[in-house]
Structure formats: C-alpha cells, structure tokens
C-alpha cells in the first residue's frame, strides 16, 4: 500500500503561506494531479511528500506511516524535478542506471530494467549521449526514465513533459498513464496544462494560493465546479460566468444583459 495522506498540513516561506491547512488522501495506485496557476502551491506539495520541505504544522503519512521526520531516502519515493537534475558528466544510460547502482541492484537486473524503460519512452538510441548533447525533450524523457526504473512507493512528477512539442507531449502523457497502470503504483503529477490534467488524472486537486479548492474526477469537476474560481480555471474556451439581476427579470453577462 502506498496511499499518501495530508492531515492539516501548513507550510510557510517567510510571510507567504505556500500550503494552507491541506487535508486530503491520494489513494494507492491512483494517478493524482495537482492543477493550478503558478505559485498556487503545486510544487511545494510534492517537495513535502518527498521530504525536501518540512511542514510547519500537520502530518504526512505514506503507506500509513508518519514521515515528517524521515529523510527523502527513507521515504522511498521517486521524483522527476522540473529542472530535471541530470548528472552532466554521465551518459543518459548512466543517469537512468544511477538509482539502481546506488541500491546495489544486480547488474543483469539493472540492464533489464534500463532496456524496458528505454523502450517504453523511446530513448534507446540516445542512451550513449551525455545530457549536453540531448534536446530539452530528450533530457526530460531521460529524467522520467530514471524515476520509472526504480521500484518506489510512489512516483512524483513536477510538470515533467512541458519541454516536449505538442505531438510528443500527447504521446508521452498517454504512455505515462499506461505505464502507471502497468506498474500499479501511486503517481502524483503537477501540471499547469488543463488538457493534461483532464486527460491523465483519476482525480484532480485544484489549488489556489496554497489552498485546495476542489478535489474530484475530471468530469465531476468540469460538470460541477465548486466555485467560480474553479469554473474559470477549467474549460477552453473559458466558461461564461453570469450574474443574476435579482428582481429585474434577467441575468447580466459580460456585455449587457440577457433578458428572460
């Protein structure tokens, strides 16, 4: 089991509240997505799960065990950072192998796992190259492969495919969904792209200024937004918000009034 639970978690950066009294559960084997505008607290949520940030108050549990005082290594979660964090002096293959080498996995098993994940992400032809010789999209796929090659409690991904072109981004998010289902692992995914969130997530958490405004399945949130904030955030083109003209027999639109 690798369910992830936040209980009244708050994190401050000086006077700024990055996460504000968050309570929710990410279920085992769920593709869970944090979605919101920049500075809404998405990446801080991931860093709290990973252990790079410590809550000022509240409790985080992974698989039923409190992890507030655990180091990132003890939590056994794999992270794909927004800045990728590849080792520049290593080849793409050695970057992918690194987590397994550190855990002293047998060489034959390392080679098998690297070959499997390279085939899934279509990076076999670039494994000999160092990161400096790869495109931005290729570096992102190598970083994703380095996370997938492990067998962690959960995968955390911070906007991992933003550098890919539109066609490859669509293909990769479908692959990520398929791989997550095959692995049977919890995956928490951060994105600012609503199409991405709606197409891959089992459930989405909508964030605003560190607070969770709504959690639900994509269709549920789209059909029944909990607030005008959520309604404006989802939909392309943006949903129309109409104000009622009480007592005047009509509703007011952005331009003029619609009489009923």
Whether the ω angle into residue 237 lies within 30 degrees of 0, i.e. cis, is yes
Angle at which helices 136-148 and 166-183 cross, to 10°: 0
For 118, the token pair is: 């390279």
Question: What are 172-183's pLDDT values in tens digits?
Answer: 888 888 888 888
Among the listed ranges 31-45, 87-101, 157-171, 179-193, which one has the minimum average pLDDT value? 157-171
- Say if residues 210 and 17 touch (Cβ distance below 8 Å): yes
pLDDT at site 245: 57
Tell me the percentage of the chain whose pLDDT exceeds 70: 92
Give the pLDDT confidence score for residue 256 in this predicted structure: 53
- For residue 28, is pLDDT > 90? yes
pLDDT attached to residue 124: 93
Q: What is the pLDDT of residues 199-234, one digit of tens each?
A: 899 999 999 999 999 999 999 999 999 998 998 888
When divided into structural domains, the chain yields a total of 1
Residues making up the chain, counted from first to last: 260
Q: What is the pLDDT of residue 91?
A: 95
pLDDT band at 249 (very low <50, low <70, confident <90, very high): low
Residue 246 reports pLDDT greater than 70 = no
| Percent of the chain residues topping a pLDDT of 90 | 58
For 221, the domain range is 4-259
**Mean pLDDT of all residues belonging to the chain:** 88
pLDDT band per the 50, 70, 90 thresholds, residue 243:
low
Q: Is the pLDDT of residue 117 over 70?
A: yes
Name the CA radius of gyration of the chain, rounded: 21
pTM of the full predicted structure? Answer: 0.83
pLDDT exceeds 70 at position 260: no
Q: How many CB atoms lie within 10 A of CB 219?
A: 9
Q: Kindly state the tokens that stand for 31.
A: 């593709």
Give yes or no for residue 34 having a pLDDT over 60. yes
Q: CATH no. for residue 108?
A: 3.40.50.300
Dihedral pair phi/psi, residue 250, rounded to 5°: -160, 180
CB contact set of 143 (below 8 Å; sequence gap of 6+): 80, 81, 84, 85, 86, 95, 160
List, in order, residues 6 or more apart from 155 with CB less than 8 Å away. Answer: 77, 78, 79, 80, 147, 148, 180, 185, 186, 187, 188
Between 11 and 194, the more confident residue is: 11
Spell out the SS3 assignment of 156-210: EEECCCCCCCHHHHHHHHHHHHHHHHHHCCEEEEEECCHHHHHHHCCEEEEEECC
Model confidence at 101, pLDDT cuts 50, 70, 90, reads: very high
Distance CA 153, CA 189 (A): 15
**pLDDT attached to residue 81:** 80
pLDDT for the residue numbered 123: 92
Contact (CB, 8 A) for 60 and 5: yes
């Amino acid at each position: 089991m690798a369910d992830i639970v936040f209980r009244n978690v708050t994190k401050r950066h000086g006077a700024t509240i990055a996460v504000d009294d968050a309570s929710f559960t990410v279920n085992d084997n769920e593709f869970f997505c944090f979605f919101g505008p920049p500075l809404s607290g998405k990446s801080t949520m991931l860093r709290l799960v990973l252990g790079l940030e410590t809550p000022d108050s509240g409790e985080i549990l992974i698989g039923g065990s409190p992890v507030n005082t655990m180091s990132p290594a003890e939590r056994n979660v794999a992270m794909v950072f927004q800045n990728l964090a590849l080792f520049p002096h290593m080849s793409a293959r050695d970057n992918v192998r690194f987590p397994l080498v550190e855990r002293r996995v047998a060489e034959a098993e390392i080679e098998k796992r690297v070959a499997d994940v390279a085939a899934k992400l279509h990076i076999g032809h670039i494994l000999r190259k160092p990161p400096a010789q790869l495109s931005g999209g290729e570096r992102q796929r190598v970083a994703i492969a380095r996370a997938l090659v492990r067998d962690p409690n959960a995968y955390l991904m911070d906007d991992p495919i933003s550098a890919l072109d539109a066609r490859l981004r669509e293909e990769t998010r479908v692959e990520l969904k398929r791989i997550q289902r095959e692995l049977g692992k919890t995956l928490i995914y951060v994105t600012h792209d609503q199409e991405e969130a709606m197409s891959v997530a089992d459930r989405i958490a909508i964030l605003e200024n560190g607070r969770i405004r709504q959690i639900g399945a994509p269709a549920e949130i789209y059909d029944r937004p909990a607030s005008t904030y959520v309604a404006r955030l989802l939909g392309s083109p943006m949903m129309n918000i109409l104000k009622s003209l009480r007592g005047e027999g009509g509703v007011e639109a952005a331009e003029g009034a619609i009489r009923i």
